[in-house]
Structures are given as C-alpha cells and as structure tokens.
Copies of this chain bind each other. A is one copy, B any other.
Amino acid sequence: MKPLRIAVVGATGIAGQQALVALDAHPWFTVTTLAASARSAGKPYAEAIRAENGARLWWDKTEPSADVLDLVVQDASKMDPGSVDLILSCIEADAARELEPKFARATPTLSSASAFRYETDTPVVVPGVNLAAHFPLIEHQRKARGWKGFVLPQSNCTVVGPVVSLKPLLDRFGVKRVLLTTMQGISGAGRAGGVLGLDMIDNLIPFIPKEEEKVAKEAVKIFGRLGEGSIVPHPMLVGATCTRAAVLDGHTAAVAVELEKPCSPEDAAAAMRAFGADYAGMDLPSAPKRPIIVHDDPFRPQPRLDRDAEGGMATSVGRLRPEPALPNGLKYVCLSHNTAIGASKGLVLTAEYLYRAGLLGA
C-alpha cells in the first residue's frame, strides 16, 4: 500500500516539530512537504531551524530524521495543497483562518488551531471521545463550502484530559456540573510569544488569555449531540480556572463533578478503566492501549512521571474521591500531555482513524 503523502504546515514551530516526531518512520504516512512562514521558505529544514547565533531551534530529544532535514521548506501561503493527500496544520489561529480554507478546497486538513472550532458546520474533536460520533458533520461542511477536502480541528490541548476522563462518567452516571482548575505546562504557550523563564521560576501565572472560555465552550460541544448540520451542546455547566505552572509539558487539572446519579470513587475508577475509546479495536499505530490510566497512589498523576505514559497518548487520573461540596459529587486530578495527545500526536491519531475508516477518500 502506498503511504499517504503528508504536508506539515507550521513545521518549524513546537507543534510542527512534534508532528514530525510523531510521523517519523510512520507505517502509513510519509512527510513529503514542509511549510512555514515566508522567513523559512526556500531553506532546507536543517537550515530553517538554525538561528542566526548558531543555535538549533529544535526542542525534542528525538532528533529530526535525515530525510526531514533535507526537505526544502515551502512558503505556507504558496503551498500547493493538491500535492499531498493530507495536511496537518500546526499554525496560529490567525494564519489558520486565512490558509486552512485554501488547503481544504483541495485536501483534507487536520488542524491544531482554534480558527474553525466554533464554526457551526465543523466539529471539534478529541480522538477517543467524539471523533466517530461527530465526523459525519464534515459532509455538511464540505457541501456548504464546496470543498473537496475539509478542515477538522482538534480541541484545545487543555480540554483533552478533562474530556477524556469525564466521558465514561457521562456515559454511565450523567454529568450536570463541572468545575475545574488547571495547572498547565509552559510548552503550551509555544516558542513565539512563549513564557519567559523570568516569569516561571518560583512562580505561577494565574491567567492564560482566552483559555477558560475555550475549555468551557469546547467541552460542551465535544459532549454535544450531532444535530442537523450542527452540534447541539450538552447542557452540563462547565467553569474553569486556567493557570500556568513551572512544568515543561503536561496539563494537570483538578476536576470536581456533580453527577446525575451517585457514583463512588470505585465506580468511577472502574468506568474509567473500562473506557472504550472510539478508536478501540482499530489497531491504530498511535493509539494508547489504555486511554485512561487510573492510579491508586494518591501522589499521582505527576506531570514528570506520567505525561509520557503510552507515548503521551494516555490520560492519567488519580485521587478519585467524593466531592462533599456537590450533590453526587466526585473529584479527581487528571493529566494529559499537551503536545502529544493534546496537539500534533493527537492529529496523527485522528489521521490514522480516518485513514483506517476509509474517510480520507484515498
């Protein structure tokens, strides 16, 4: 079988780099095109990630492959989307708003940007939770916009852990109300406009612009019902406080839930451990064996110890206990890797799902 040709757009940024790591030696996909801003265009990737002062601007411990280093980076605004079978768009929202419709005219485009998440004809997906359930909306998008391809945005990285861990509770016990506080890793802020060391040593930042709104809006859309040409948001109430902590990778959330039916910590643990992700049984290369790992050790999950579980694709849960301040109250701490399942590796998992399910039209 011929491997699918993939373009990674935003290839020099942290999310793009993670995509390249996730696609390295992939059994089904091969990166044939790299695109970035005009500044990098025309340079081999090895050069595009070298700063003037000689530093290599590459942040993963796995070095980029020799093939990738030799690829000449294209200007994203001039890239021919028809030259590839699938586009992974790892760019900022503003650029995405402009470029992704151009890409989608010709080619399926999976995006980590927020540009399309709140469009009526577009789902916002978390693989495992609502990819299967909401992907059908894409047909509306295609028709309405006259596209050959489509834009399928993934959720904000912060909502992933809460949404994955809530899904089995929602299915078995019903969820009425969720209050959560996040302590987020700094890689989520990207490199450009990144968080300064000066801010993050011996400190916390209690605010991440626009993050709380995204969490609330996306959670109810992800859990929503597929209606006619749109998603009907789930009626649960969601309130979030999002903070930045001195952690490199991994978003931790303290979650308090009001359930419709009583649910003991043991019930919750059992439901989470039994969680059947929507990609279960498809044997996807990037899928975690255990989408949710439940810890008994009360000192877990910890970002450094647990973010890389199952290659960064699992959500780790711990401290399941009653929440006395809510009726049918339950609380716990969850953790997921913001640049793995929460970003580029999540896109790759989605790509694998669509490919296996025959939804990429290839």
Contact = CB atoms under 8 A, between A and B. Distances in A.
Given A216-B324, A323-B239, A204 B187 contact: no
Contacts of A197: 186, 194-197, 199-201, 246
B178 A181 contact: no
Contact of A61 (B241, B245, B305, B331): B305
Given A191-B198, A318-B206, A54 B298 contact: yes
Copies in the complex: 4
Contacts of A187: 198
Nearest to A185: B202
B326 A239 contact: yes
A360 interface: no
Contacts of A41: none
A58 to B, nearest CB: 9
A302 interface: yes
Interface residues of A, number: 62
B196 A252 contact: no
Interface in A296-344: 296-305, 308, 318-319, 323-326, 329, 331, 333
Contact of A53 (B209, B216, B302, B303): B209
A256 interface: yes
Contacts of A206: 252, 254, 299-302, 318-319, 333
A237 interface: yes
A202 B304 contact: yes
Contacts of A200: 197, 200-201
Contact of A201 (B247, B300, B324): B247
Contacts of A179: 179, 256, 323, 325-326
Given A181-B181, A325-B178, A207 B246 contact: no
Given A200-B197, A319-B207, A333-B206, A53 B325 contact: no
Nearest to A197: B200
Interface string A88-128: 00000000000000000000000000000000000000000
A196 to B, nearest CB: 5
B202 A239 contact: no
A227 to B, nearest CB: 23
A202 to B, nearest CB: 4
A177 B302 contact: no
A274 interface: no
A324 B237 contact: yes
A48 B201 CA distance: 25
A234 to B, nearest CB: 13
B325 A252 contact: no
A202 B248 contact: yes
A76 interface: no
Task: Tell me which of A54, A194, A216, A241 has the highest count of chain B C-beta atoms within 10 A of its own C-beta.
Answer: A241
Given A206-B254, A206-B333, A241-B319, 10 more contacts: A53-B298, A54-B296, A55-B298, A61-B308, A191-B196, A199-B302, A202-B246, A203-B247, A204-B252, A246-B247
Interface of A: 53-56, 59, 61, 177-179, 181, 183, 186-187, 191, 194-207, 209, 216, 237-239, 241, 243, 245-248, 252, 254, 256, 296-305, 308, 318-319, 323-326, 329, 331, 333
